[in-house]
Structure 1
Amino acid sequence: MKQINRKQAKFRTSWQLIAIFGGGIAVLFVLSILSLGFGEAEIPAAIVMDGLLSRRDVMEHNLLWDIRMPRTIIGLLSGAALAAAGALLQTITRNPLAASDTLGINAGAYFMVVLGMVAFPAVQQQFPFLLAAAGGLLAALAAYMLSGGKGATPVRLALSGMIVSMVLGAFTSALHIFNSTKTQNLFLWGSGSLIQLNWDGVQFAWPFILALLAGAMFAGRQFDTLELDESTARSLGQRVDLTRAIGLGMSVLMAAIVVSVVGPIGFVGLVAPHLVRLSGIRKHSFLIPASALWGAILITAADTLARMVRSSVGEMPIGAVMAIIGGPWLIWLVLTKVRNISGSGSGQSSMSIGGAALRMRFAPTAISIALILLATIVISLSFGGTRIPLSELLGSVAGASDSSYSVLLNLRLPRTLVAALGGIALAISGVLIQSAVRNPLADASIIGVTAGAGFGAMIVLVALPTLTIVALPFAAMAGGIIAAAFVFFLAWRKSLNPSVLILLGIAVSAIGSAGIQVMIIKASLWNTSAYIWLTGSTYGRSWPQFYTLLIFLLILVPIAYYLARKFDLLAFGDESSIGFGLPIRGTRLAAMILGVLLASAAVASVGTIGFLGLMAPHVVRMMIGHHTRRSIILSGLLGGLLLVLADTIGRTIMAPKEIPSGLIIMLIGAPYFLFLMYRSMQKKG
């Protein structure tokens, strides 16, 4: 009987390998022919085959060999490298959501390439791969260590990678805005582009990628042992840490090579290895080449699709197409395949980030912050491209002076008040969303609201530019609410599990960000007010935005304050909360809805400002501990103060040129956020 079972197992394995490799090669051949044929000038398949077999000096054959072939080959190499890197990273981290993009490798490599273009153009031109590899390695190490290393759960790893990507994205956006002339050509490349003008990219990449793939296949048995329990692997004489280091190095190098040639492309390393693993293949000597094969298929299919659906203004970036393909895949993976999403233990549901609260007295603290906010608003009105003396300012405000500064003041006052109310809304939104998902590292950007709102706004900016002023806030608000509603709908069957909400939000954010990238490139908006709006800007804000925000705050904040006692119970975990008689799903949904509405209203008024909804609640939690009602008041005041300061600095430091407020918040929040992750990791340790 055992011999029969073994024969049946070998028979199944043989057919699996034939299906994966044989079927994959057949599909890849067909897709490659389609890829070579589609473009601005379509080439029939018969001419493609004729050109491949016997090239002649005719236009079609020259186009095929000099333009289309390099693009197709670099696509095959890129897909193979990213997929193999993803397979290795999933094994090394023992985490099904690991890939070059979820670990921040792509973002790190992209940042270093942009930095090299601005600060070290000679080095960037000669050694782009070295800069990309350095950035990718540092980002991967940061994400891996901040997530808790080998014991990281899928949600914590995904969060850490997203955080590192957001931090690096903040600095990359700053480089783009301040050096738009130097980096304009990098914007399309930064969305992932396989366009090749010659064979240089292929000639550079293929030796490295093939050598690394061969090395990974050769070390397949060592990587197999990482699937075992660590103590078992060590007892078999395996040097586990060395194997992990080698695998990480190979993964980073493969991803960095791809980024240095075609830019950051996500989801290939997540989707392709899972497709192969679903077939039952586990041994790395087969898993790595099979993942490489299906990664090449994915990239080639996405690139062909992008050219097939090209519009009058060109084709979609390959990175955006892969996000549109990979986002639904991640959603399906989270809902059906990922088991140990959040781990266990009290630490997983704690709202603490390590360290004891300062236990500051609430009333004096609230009064102090409110007075500082009021003073900052008044002082902010005097700063900008034209300074207003404080005496003239106070006279204009009091109506006792007919100063020539009154017109200027009427422009600055609503702008400053919008900044204050926007900061209040974002900070309170952060308090509510963190309570709902029971994770101190969450805010509106994590659950897809920010990307959805940005996508809604971009639709108006690109498709209906004549309606921009009137329709922009409503479109942004609608986009944020629709994105959040979609996440809630998908997570409902999982009882709105906090970790499921976060992972689904990451997937929806990726899809929304892909749509934003496409529209920016299509409409050439990378050096316009629309792109600056996406980074968060209070420029040109007027009384209508102020009144809109005020109405939302007057309606939603009292409701949140009334329900805050129930939201407090969510921090104890689902079992404890149910024991207290709390309806978990309804309470969590109420907190999320209030947080989403506040965030959507803020984004509609001041653009997509990140990190503010993370920073303010954390600072307050360190001051007074976990107390939702008090956190709503203090976080709101602190959020308003931070955004008013950012607005003042942005319009003063480089006057008359303005720095977007959201960019200043990012540059402040990014290091602080890394500090929070470090504290959280220390607490877990």
Structure 2
Amino acid sequence: MPKLITGGVAVVLCAVIVVHLGLGAAGVGVLDVLSFVAGNGDENTRNVLWGSRIPRTLAGLVVGIALGVSGALIQGATRNPLAAPDTLGVNAGAYFAVAALAFAGVNAGVFGNGGVAFLGGLAAVALVYLLTVGGVLTPGRVLLAGATVSLIGMAGAEFLQILDEHQTRGLFFWGNGSLMQTGLDRPLVVGAVVLAGAALAPLLARSLDLLSLGDETAQAMGVQVNRVRPMALSLAVVLAAAAVTVAGPIGFVGLIAPVAVRLLGIHGHSLLIPLAGLTAATLVLAADAAAQVALPPSAGYGELPVGIVTALIGGPIFIVLARRVITGDADRGAAVVVAQARKSRFVTALVIGCGLLAVAAVVGLRVGDMDISWSDLASVVTGSGQEMANAVVSFRLPRILVAAGAGACLAIAGVAVQSVVRNPLAEPGLMGITGGASAAAMLVILVIPSAPVAVLPVAATAGGVLAMVIIVLIARQLDPTRVVLIGLGMAATTMALVNVMVVGAQMNITAALTWLAGSTYARDLSTLGWLLLPAVVAVMLIVGGRAVNMLALGDDLPRSLGLALGRTRMLVLCGGALLAAGTAAAVGTVGFVGLVAPHLARRIVGTATHRLMPMAAVLGAVLVVVADTVGRSVLAPTEIPVGIVTALLGTPYLVWLLRAK
């Protein structure tokens, strides 16, 4: 049976290779490829194949084998079927390291880039370890740590993309995984490293088989666990870094391939590891072929990165697998511990928060690509300002008001979602709500370009609510960790859909990236109207604070007190989705506000909803206003989208939150 499975995988891979070689814009099809293989190809076919097709196919083979073997090693070492180079942050760390090197203008060559990618991936694994060591090492906790590290790496890389406007398109495609090559040099050189790593990996097979029985059992049977696990993870990082060096970060391949092989009945690592490599190579080439069929190069649509296709496939698979993860958090709450709130007078804290918001708004009016003095600002307020000062303030004031409103809505959305899920990491962006809103808004822009402006927030709201409902239906039991993991899968899937639409419609990549990263640029007072419905929902949640408070008490006690638990949970979740989606329609994707603001508010005023939500709203408004000011003044006249700034501020806070005991 194993021989039959191996032969079947090999045959399928060969067929996919032939099909992949037959796709492209040069008019050389599958029949021409077969004729060339048989020795009857003409000169044109030879030139096309050796010039572009074979390097691309070879790159797919190298990347697939590297990611498949890397995923098998990581899953074996961690005993976690959801662990992979991307879900543990290895790809993101390697990607950020290579992007930073390129942004600095350093041409380190293939080996230099590979070494830097390895160091970035290794740093990511080390950070995941630091975030989980000393706590309960559950699969959910490890994956949340990996997601955190991925957010750090991707936020940093997006920051570099926004700065390098002249190369944004290239960075966008490479950052989503692309097999396009300029020759055979890179695939051949990196391929030699991958083959060496793939040849070494089976040497760890017996130890990984024993590790699956548990550390104590493996230790008793002679396995040096403290050596085998670091060796397996280090080799996995080398392979993942090699894949990033060739094609950028390609997600979910290292997750899907080992799982698919296990579903075929292969569990021993001596066969699982090589079959995972072959299966992953098949998946990468098939995904790239599908991308070329969906958006043919000859049609002039441009390149659809293969990483987007693998995300469309892998996101739903991740959701299915996450649904089966046993976390142990359903009854006792999230594995992440929230620090004990300090008692404080609510009114005093709220007044101080409003004062900070006023200061942030005034500073925001002053600074930017053109600073205005305090005297000019005062003259504008009194109505005697100069024309230039009046123009600057009239441009900045609406975006500051929009930023404050968006921050307040996102913060209350975070409180609402976290109160139901009982996990302080349940932020609307991480939960896929913002991604659903973005996908729906982008769909309206493409399908109905002449639609009234008012349709956009309606579509975004519907998309966000739909994403939230799907997550809850899939999760069934509101396990705090499982819901967040499913949300991560939903976020990956929806953002892949957005990227497909961006590429397929040949949208301006820089503009699309800026909107997806969250921006208040050129927002006027009419945008405040888009935040009207979220504001009404926020008030309703505050008024219904007693019911929201009871959600934190589990299941039995609220029911005994007469609360319709299921209906209340859905209403609160939908309210949070409305808030997050409506905000996304106004300012794009702004993350971490719904994470940071509620947590800070809890430490200041406690957990009572009637105090927590107003305090969180003020802190969220302060955070976004400050982020907007920083984004348009630090590198003026270049603007950093507010979502990038909040991500750079929020990820360290998320790291600290995960480390809290």
Q: TM-score normalised to the size of structure 2? A: 0.93
Is 1:496–1:588's contact at 8 Å kept on the other side of the alignment? Answer: no
Write the distance in 1 (CA, Å) between the matches of 2:233 and 2:370: 53
Matches within 5 A, 1:276-675: 276-311=261-296, 312=299, 313-335=301-323, 338-343=324-329, 346=332, 348-349=333-334, 352-354=337-339, 356-394=340-378, 396-397=380-381, 405-461=389-445, 471-491=455-475, 494-522=476-504, 528-553=510-535, 555-574=536-555, 582-675=563-656
Look up the equivalent residue of 1:675 and give its one-letter code: W
Write the distance in 1 (CA, Å) between the matches of 2:386 and 2:191: 72
Write the distance in 1 (CA, Å) between the matches of 2:168 and 2:325: 42
Write the distance in 1 (CA, Å) between the matches of 2:289 and 2:107: 34
Write the distance in 2 (CA, Å) between the matches of 1:442 and 1:377: 28
Tell me the CA shift for residue 599 of structure 1: 0.7
Is 1:94–1:150's contact at 8 Å kept on the other side of the alignment? Answer: no
* CA deviations over 1:519-576 (Å, ceiling 9, x no partner): 44455656633321221111111111113314431x2122211332232233344456
Matches within 5 A, 1:160-199: 160-182=145-167, 184-199=169-184
Write the distance in 2 (CA, Å) between the matches of 1:250 and 1:577: 50
Deviates more, 1:386-395 or 1:271-280: 386-395
Deviates more, 1:281-290 or 1:459-468: 459-468
Write the distance in 2 (CA, Å) between the matches of 1:480 and 1:63: 45
Tell me the CA shift for residue 189 of structure 1: 1.3
Tell me the CA shift for residue 342 of structure 1: 4.2
Write the distance in 2 (CA, Å) between the matches of 1:301 and 1:357: 52
Is 1:222–1:238's contact at 8 Å kept on the other side of the alignment? Answer: yes
1:3 is aligned to none
- Pick one of 157, 180, 195 that aligns with 2:142: 157
1:264 is aligned to 249
Look up the equivalent residue of 2:615 and give its one-letter code: L
Is 1:487–1:501's contact at 8 Å kept on the other side of the alignment? Answer: yes
Write the distance in 2 (CA, Å) between the matches of 1:135 and 1:54: 44
Tell me the CA shift for residue 464 of structure 1: 5.5
Write the distance in 2 (CA, Å) between the matches of 1:262 and 1:450: 28
Write the distance in 2 (CA, Å) between the matches of 1:20 and 1:107: 33
Tell me the CA shift for residue 364 of structure 1: 0.8
Write the distance in 2 (CA, Å) between the matches of 1:95 and 1:581: 40
Is 2:520–2:642's contact at 8 Å kept on the other side of the alignment? Answer: yes
Write the distance in 1 (CA, Å) between the matches of 2:625 and 2:253: 41
Write the distance in 2 (CA, Å) between the matches of 1:578 and 1:471: 39
Cα separation, partners in 2 of 1:344 and 1:375, compared to 1, 3 Å: closer
1:5 is aligned to none
1:204 is aligned to 189
Deviates more, 1:426-435 or 1:159-168: 159-168
Tell me the CA shift for residue 67 of structure 1: 2.1
Is 2:329–2:335's contact at 8 Å kept on the other side of the alignment? Answer: no
Is 2:421–2:480's contact at 8 Å kept on the other side of the alignment? Answer: yes
Tell me the CA shift for residue 77 of structure 1: 2.3
Write the distance in 1 (CA, Å) between the matches of 2:132 and 2:559: 29
Cα separation, partners in 2 of 1:552 and 1:169, compared to 1, 3 Å: same
1:122 is aligned to 107
Is 1:643–1:661's contact at 8 Å kept on the other side of the alignment? Answer: yes
Is 1:187–1:526's contact at 8 Å kept on the other side of the alignment? Answer: no
Tell me the SS of whatever aligns to 2:249.
coil
Write the distance in 2 (CA, Å) between the matches of 1:506 and 1:614: 15
Tell me the CA shift for residue 87 of structure 1: 1.5
Tell me the SS of whatever aligns to 2:51.
helix
Tell me the SS of whatever aligns to 2:521.
coil
Cα separation, partners in 2 of 1:139 and 1:194, compared to 1, 3 Å: same
Write the distance in 2 (CA, Å) between the matches of 1:181 and 1:103: 31
Look up the equivalent residue of 1:228 and give its one-letter code: L
Look up the equivalent residue of 1:642 and give its one-letter code: L
Write the distance in 2 (CA, Å) between the matches of 1:531 and 1:410: 26
Look up the equivalent residue of 2:6 and give its one-letter code: F
Write the distance in 2 (CA, Å) between the matches of 1:664 and 1:594: 26
Deviates more, 1:270-279 or 1:49-58: 49-58
Is 1:188–1:521's contact at 8 Å kept on the other side of the alignment? Answer: no
Look up the equivalent residue of 1:51 and give its one-letter code: F
Write the distance in 2 (CA, Å) between the matches of 1:246 and 1:590: 49
Tell me the CA shift for residue 322 of structure 1: 0.5
Whether 2:131 is the aligned partner of 1:131: answer: no
- Pick one of 84, 93, 103 that aligns with 1:99: 84
Cα separation, partners in 2 of 1:363 and 1:67, compared to 1, 3 Å: same
Write the distance in 2 (CA, Å) between the matches of 1:391 and 1:153: 58
Write the distance in 1 (CA, Å) between the matches of 2:557 and 2:118: 46
Write the distance in 2 (CA, Å) between the matches of 1:590 and 1:670: 29
2:239 is aligned to 254
Is 1:447–1:506's contact at 8 Å kept on the other side of the alignment? Answer: yes
Tell me the SS of whatever aligns to 1:122.
coil
Write the distance in 2 (CA, Å) between the matches of 1:385 and 1:35: 49
Is 2:413–2:577's contact at 8 Å kept on the other side of the alignment? Answer: yes
Cα separation, partners in 2 of 1:556 and 1:183, compared to 1, 3 Å: closer
Deviates more, 1:633-642 or 1:198-207: 198-207
Cα separation, partners in 2 of 1:126 and 1:500, compared to 1, 3 Å: closer
Tell me the CA shift for residue 579 of structure 1: 5.9
Q: What's the RMSD between the two structures over aligned residues?
A: 2.6
In structure 2, the gaps of 5 or more residues are none
Tell me the CA shift for residue 376 of structure 1: 2.9
Tell me the CA shift for residue 124 of structure 1: 5.6
* CA deviations over 1:222-273 (Å, ceiling 9, x no partner): 1111111221211122100111001101111111000000111111111111
Tell me the SS of whatever aligns to 1:543.
coil
Cα separation, partners in 2 of 1:124 and 1:368, compared to 1, 3 Å: farther
Q: How many pairs does the alignment contain? A: 658
Is 1:454–1:476's contact at 8 Å kept on the other side of the alignment? Answer: yes
Tell me the SS of whatever aligns to 1:528.
helix
Matches within 5 A, 1:9-24: 15=1, 17-24=2-9
Cα separation, partners in 2 of 1:635 and 1:177, compared to 1, 3 Å: same
1:9 is aligned to none
Write the distance in 1 (CA, Å) between the matches of 2:27 and 2:515: 38
Look up the equivalent residue of 2:633 and give its one-letter code: T
Write the distance in 1 (CA, Å) between the matches of 2:158 and 2:326: 35
Cα separation, partners in 2 of 1:395 and 1:213, compared to 1, 3 Å: same
* CA deviations over 1:600-637 (Å, ceiling 9, x no partner): 11111122111111111111122233332211011100
Write the distance in 1 (CA, Å) between the matches of 2:615 and 2:529: 22
Q: TM-score normalised to the size of structure 1? A: 0.90
Tell me the CA shift for residue 360 of structure 1: 2.1
Cα separation, partners in 2 of 1:367 and 1:262, compared to 1, 3 Å: same
In structure 1, the gaps of 5 or more residues are 1-14
Look up the equivalent residue of 2:518 and give its one-letter code: G
Tell me the SS of whatever aligns to 1:604.
helix
1:236 is aligned to 221
Cα separation, partners in 2 of 1:286 and 1:173, compared to 1, 3 Å: same
Is 1:93–1:150's contact at 8 Å kept on the other side of the alignment? Answer: no
Look up the equivalent residue of 1:623 and give its one-letter code: I
2:128 is aligned to 143
Write the distance in 1 (CA, Å) between the matches of 2:547 and 2:225: 47
